[in-house]
Chains A and B, each alone.
Chain A
Amino acid sequence: MLSRVAITLAAVCFLASAQDTYDTIYNDIGSLPCVRLLNATGYVGCQSMAAASGVLYRADTLEDINQLANDDGLRNKYTVVIPYWLLSSSNIDILKSSKKLAAILAVVNGTDPAHAISARPTTFVSPDTTCPNCEFGLYANTPNQYQWNPTGSGLLFEQFDFPIYALNTMDTRNTMSYASVMQAANRNRDKGYQDYPLKSLQFHSFMWGAQDTGACLRKGWCTPVGGASVWSTPSTNISYTDEKPIIVVTAAMDSRSLFHDLTLGVESSVAGMVTVLAVAEALSRSTIPLDTMSKHIVYTLFTGEAWGFGGSQRFVQDITSSPIQCEKPPTSGSGCAYPFYSDLEFQRLNPAKIEAILEVGQIAGMGGPGGNPTLYAHVDNIQEAASTTLLNQVVQVGANGSTTIPLPSTGISVQAASSDGVKRGLPPSSSMSFLKSRGNIPTVVLTDFQKQMSALTNHDQDDNWSTPNTVNLIQQAASVISKTAWLQAQGVSNSTAMTPAQTEAIASIQVDAGLVQDLLECLSLNYSCSLVDRYLNVTASSIPPTRLPHYSGTLYSQSQPFPIFAWSFLANMTSVKNLTSPTPRVTGCSSKAATVQCNPKEYCVGDQCIVSLTRYHDAYGVGLAINSNAEYYIKDASKPVWTESTWDPIGLRMFDVTSPDSQIAELMTGLALTLISGGVIWYSRRFLKKTLKED
Chain B
Amino acid sequence: MAKSIEKMTPDEILVASKKLFFGGFALLPMLWVYNILYIWPVRNRADLSPRVRHYVLLSGILSVVMFVVFSVWFGIFVNYRLNWGVPGDTLTVVLVKGV
B83 closest partner in A (C-beta): A211
Give bound CA distance, A208 to B99, whole Å: 8
Indicate whether A215 reaches chain B with its CB closer than 8 angstroms. Answer: yes
Q: A218-B89, A219-B89 are in contact. Are A206 and B82 (CB under 8 A)?
A: no
Indicate whether A26 reaches chain B with its CB closer than 8 angstroms. Answer: no
Give bound CA distance, A528 to B89, whole Å: 47
Indicate whether B41 reaches chain A with its CB closer than 8 angstroms. Answer: no
Contacts of A103 in B (CB 8 A): none
A646 closest partner in B (C-beta): B97
The reply to whether B82 and A211 form a contact with Cβ atoms under 8 Å apart is: yes
Interface residues of B in 48-99 (CB under 8 A from A): 82, 85-86, 89, 95, 97-99
Give bound CA distance, A221 to B95, whole Å: 11
Number of A residues with CB within 8 Å of any CB on chain B: 13
The reply to whether A215 and B82 form a contact with Cβ atoms under 8 Å apart is: yes
Give bound CA distance, A207 to B98, whole Å: 6
A47 closest partner in B (C-beta): B98
Q: Which of B85, B86, B89, B99 contacts A210 (CB 8 A)?
A: B99
Indicate whether A49 reaches chain B with its CB closer than 8 angstroms. Answer: yes
| Total cross-chain contacts (CB, 8 A) | 23
**Would you give the shortest CB distance from A7 to chain B, in whole angstroms?**
40
Contacts of B89 in A (CB 8 A): 218-219
Number of B residues with CB within 8 Å of any CB on chain A: 8
The reply to whether B98 and A210 form a contact with Cβ atoms under 8 Å apart is: yes
Contacts of B95 in A (CB 8 A): 219
Task: Give A6-47 as 1s and 0s: 1 = Cβ < 8 Å from B's Cβ atoms.
Answer: 000000000000000000000000000000000000000001
Give bound CA distance, A219 to B98, whole Å: 11
Q: A218-B89, A219-B89 are in contact. Are A49 and B82 (CB under 8 A)?
A: no
Give bound CA distance, A572 to B82, whole Å: 52
Give bound CA distance, A537 to B10, whole Å: 94
Task: Give A187-215 as 1s and 0s: 1 = Cβ < 8 Å from B's Cβ atoms.
Answer: 00000000000000000001111110011
Besides A49-B99, A210-B98, A221-B97, 18 other A-B contacts (C-beta < 8 A): A47-B98, A49-B98, A206-B97, A206-B98, A207-B98, A208-B97, A208-B98, A209-B98, A210-B82, A210-B97, A211-B82, A214-B85, A215-B85, A218-B85, A218-B86, A218-B89, A219-B89, A219-B95
A interface residues with partner B (beta carbon < 8 Å): 47, 49, 206-211, 214-215, 218-219, 221
21 A-B residue pairs with Cβ-Cβ distance under 8 Å, sorted by A, are: A47-B98, A49-B98, A206-B97, A206-B98, A207-B98, A208-B97, A208-B98, A209-B98, A210-B82, A210-B97, A210-B98, A210-B99, A211-B82, A214-B85, A215-B82, A215-B85, A218-B85, A218-B86, A218-B89, A219-B89, A221-B97
